[in-house]
Amino acid sequence: MAYKILKGEDIMAKKIHIYDITMSNGEQFKNIRIEGSISRNYSGIATDFIPVENTQGQTVELVKYQILKAELVDIEE
């Protein structure tokens, strides 16, 4: 399956993206807030851990290789 970068990605980089993330062990993280899109911030091999913030404001570090799915739920200004 081929993917492409969406137009307007640079504009969206300043916004808060909210994801529901499913890990390879079945654990789910709901309403995870990331500044900018997850694909733009964490593509490449330099970053293995992704710091994310949950709805309670707690930071959780996820291993990007264990993420099965990151579903975009909302984008905030």
Q: CATH number of the domain that 24 lies in?
A: 2.30.30
**DSSP β-bridge partners for residue 1:** none
Domain membership of residue 34 as a residue range: 9-76
Whether pTM > 0.75 for this model: the answer is: no
> How would you write the pLDDT of the chain (77 residues) with one tens digit per residue?
444 444 455 555 578 888 999 999 998 888 888 888 887 777 766 678 888 777 788 888 888 888 889 999 999 88
Name the domain count of the chain: 1
Q: What is the pLDDT at residue 5?
A: 44
Q: What is the pLDDT at residue 45?
A: 63
Q: Edge to edge, what strands does the sheet with 16-23 contain?
A: 59-63, 49-53, 28-35, 16-23, 67-76
